[in-house]
């Protein structure tokens, strides 16, 4: 059976607050349309210099804990050399070094193979950019 490649661009509005947005259902819907029961890989990529993709538990406080940890590691103050936008915006440009702009995940039988409490999340600390794009690509 020849390999299949499919891609889709999601539009995500993150708002004017730091956000961890759960994309797991979007990923599942994409795979339902494209994987057709195949095994393969799902790549999730955010083409922005100030956002990242994380695999973590959501809804039990871990998403807020991640934002708190990022605020501690990357405070929004005037220490950053990159200085346009909101105060401390330079930290947003450092975020992808800690939360990478991509994740590649296994797909088994056409379904995302995540652990029990794992979710695919967009992490966005840039309050100046409320609209994000996320590219989902399946190879299987």
- Residue range(s) defining the domain that contains residue 16: 5-139
pLDDT in tens, 25-56: 999 999 999 999 999 999 999 999 999 999 99
Length of the chain: 140
pLDDT of residue 51: 97
Q: Which residue has the tokens 């590691």?
A: 73
- Lowest model confidence (mean pLDDT) among 2-16, 24-38, 41-55, 77-91: 77-91
Q: Are 124 and 18 in contact (CB under 8 A)?
A: yes
The two beta strands, 111-112 and 131-139, are unpaired
Q: How far apart are CA 48 and CA 132, in angstroms?
A: 8
- CA-CA-CA-CA dihedral for 121, 115, 6, 97, to nearest 10: 40
End-to-end Cα distance, the chain:
10
pTM for the complete prediction?
A: 0.94
What average pLDDT is seen over the chain? 95
Three-state SS at 132? strand
The total domain count for the chain is 1
Could you tell me the CATH number of the domain that includes residue 125? 2.60.120.460
């Amino acid at each position: 059976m020849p390999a299949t490649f499919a891609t889709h661009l999601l539009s995500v509005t993150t708002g004017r607050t730091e956000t961890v947005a759960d994309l797991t259902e979007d990923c599942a819907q994409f795979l339902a349309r494209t994987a057709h029961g195949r095994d393969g890989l799902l790549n999730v990529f955010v083409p922005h210099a100030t956002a990242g993709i994380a695999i973590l538990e959501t809804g039990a406080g871990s998403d807020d804990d991640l934002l708190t940890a990022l605020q501690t590691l990357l405070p929004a103050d005037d220490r950053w050399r990159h200085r346009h936008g909101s105060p401390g915006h330079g930290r947003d440009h450092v975020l992808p070094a800690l939360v990478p702009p991509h994740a590649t995940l296994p797909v088994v039988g056409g379904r995302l193979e995540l652990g029990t409490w794992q979710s695919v999340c967009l992490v966005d600390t840039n309050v100046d950019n409320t609209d994000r794009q996320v590219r989902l690509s399946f190879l299987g």
